[in-house]
Amino acid sequence: MAGSLNVSVVSADQQIWAGEASMVVAKTVEGEIGILAGHEPLLAILAAGEVRVNASTGERLVARADDGFLSVENDTVTIVARDAELIK
């Protein structure tokens, strides 16, 4: 289970963050979901809450992404929200 995820966090007017990550944890309308490399393609609606990204560099970021969705395909994760912002 090597490999990493290609993550981008995108809001309506700009790309907020892009980079490699080992894990993404997001909260969808059905509950929390954790995504590792090799996850099956997924399209999910996000619930209000935080998205946590464990970057490959060891950095951990938390973004607020309300009212958006999450797509996973071929180890590419895109988190799209109208207003998204990095909390830290």
Q: Which residues bind other proteins (CB under 8 A)?
A: 8, 10-15, 28-30, 33, 40-45, 69, 71, 73-74, 78, 80, 82-83
Least Å from the CB of residue 87 to other proteins: 20
Nearer to other proteins, 30 or 58 (CB): 30
Residues 6+ positions from 13 with CB-CB distance below 8 Å:
none
Between 19 and 69, whose beta carbon lies closer to other proteins?
69
Q: Which residue lies nearer to other proteins by CB, 14 or 58? A: 14
- Distance of alpha carbon 50 from alpha carbon 86, whole angstroms: 10
Nearest to 82 by CA among 40, 45, 39: 45
Nearest to 26 by CA among 10, 61, 50: 50
